[in-house]
Structure 1
Amino acid sequence: MQALLNSGQVARCDLYTIRLPSFAEYRYTNADVAISAGGRNFVHDGPEIHGARMRQSRGLDPDEQRLTVLVKPEHTIGGVSWLTALRSGALDEAEVVIEKAFLADWGAPAHALEWFRGTVQEASGDDLAIQLAVESDSARFGQMLPRELFGPGCVRDLFDAGCGVNKAAYRVDAAVTGGNRARIHTTLNRPAEWFSRGYLVFTSGPNSGVRRSVVRSEAVNGALEFSMPLVFDPRPGDAFMAWPGCDKTAETCGAKYNNRPRFKATPYVPVPETVL
Structure 2
Amino acid sequence: MNTATIARAWAVTRSDGVTLGFTDHDEAIAFDGITFRPDAGLTARAVVQGLGLSVDNTEAVGLLSDSAITEIDLMAGRWDAADVRLWDVDWSAPQNRRLVFRGHLGEVTRNGGAFRAELRGLSEPLNRAQGRVYHPRCAAELGDKACRFDLGRAGYSVEGTVLEVQEGARFRLSGIVGHESRWFERGSLVVLSGAAEGLTALIKNDTGLSGAGREVELWAGLGIAPQPGDRVKLIAGCDKRAETCRLKFLNFPNFRGFPHLPPEDWLLAPQVVK
TM-score normalised to the size of structure 1?
0.69
Compared CA separation, residues 160 and 234, structure 1 to 2 (3 A) = closer
Q: 1:156 matched to which residue of 2?
A: 140
Q: CA deviation at 1:246?
A: 1.6
Cα-to-partner distance string for 1:227-270 (whole Å, 9 max, x where unaligned): 12457664213355654432112343345545332212111122
Aligned residues: 255
The amino acid of 2:116's aligned partner reads Q
2:173 to 183, 186, 189: 186
The amino acid of 1:143's aligned partner reads R
Q: 2:21 matched to which residue of 1?
A: 28
1:120 to 106, 109, 125: 106
Q: 2:256 matched to which residue of 1?
A: 264
CA distance in 2, matches of 1:122, 1:45: 21
Cα-to-partner distance string for 1:3-41 (whole Å, 9 max, x where unaligned): xx9xxxx99752322426xx473423326447463xx65
Larger radius of gyration: 2
Q: CA deviation at 1:75?
A: 3.4
The answer to which of 101-110 and 196-205 deviates more is 101-110
Q: Check whether the contact 1:15–1:42 (CA below 8 A) recurs between aligned residues.
A: no
CA distance in 1, matches of 2:214, 2:98: 45
Which of the pair has the greater relative contact order for Cα pairs under 8 Å at 6+ separation? Answer: 1
CA distance in 2, matches of 1:176, 1:109: 51
RMSD (Å) for aligned C-alpha atoms: 4.2
The amino acid of 1:197's aligned partner reads R
In the alignment, structure 1 residue 67 sits paired with structure 2 residue 37: no
2:187 to 198, 204, 209: 198
What is the 5 A alignment of 1:64-213? 64-72=57-65, 74-75=66-67, 81-82=70-71, 84-86=72-74, 89-91=75-77, 94-100=80-86, 115-127=101-113, 129-136=114-121, 138-149=123-134, 151-165=135-149, 175-180=161-166, 181-187=168-174, 189=176, 191=179, 192-202=181-191, 211-213=200-202
The amino acid of 1:260's aligned partner reads F
The amino acid of 1:259's aligned partner reads N
What is the 5 A alignment of 1:221-232? 221-229=213-221
Q: Check whether the contact 1:85–1:209 (CA below 8 A) recurs between aligned residues.
A: no
Q: CA deviation at 1:207?
A: 5.1
In the alignment, structure 1 residue 15 sits paired with structure 2 residue 10: yes
Q: 1:249 matched to which residue of 2?
A: 241
CA distance in 1, matches of 2:184, 2:21: 36
Q: Check whether the contact 1:97–1:114 (CA below 8 A) recurs between aligned residues.
A: no
Q: Check whether the contact 1:176–1:187 (CA below 8 A) recurs between aligned residues.
A: yes
CA distance in 1, matches of 2:58, 2:245: 40
Give the SS at the match of 1:273: helix
Compared CA separation, residues 124 and 157, structure 1 to 2 (3 A) = same
CA distance in 2, matches of 1:167, 1:14: 41
Give the SS at the match of 2:42: strand
What is the percent sequence identity of the aligned residues? 20
Q: Check whether the contact 1:90–1:207 (CA below 8 A) recurs between aligned residues.
A: yes
**Gap regions ≥5 residues in structure 2:** none
CA distance in 1, matches of 2:159, 2:86: 36
**Gap regions ≥5 residues in structure 1:** none
The amino acid of 1:199's aligned partner reads S
Cα-to-partner distance string for 1:138-182 (whole Å, 9 max, x where unaligned): 333323454412x22112223433223456887766542213123
CA distance in 1, matches of 2:36, 2:190: 26
Give the SS at the match of 2:123: helix
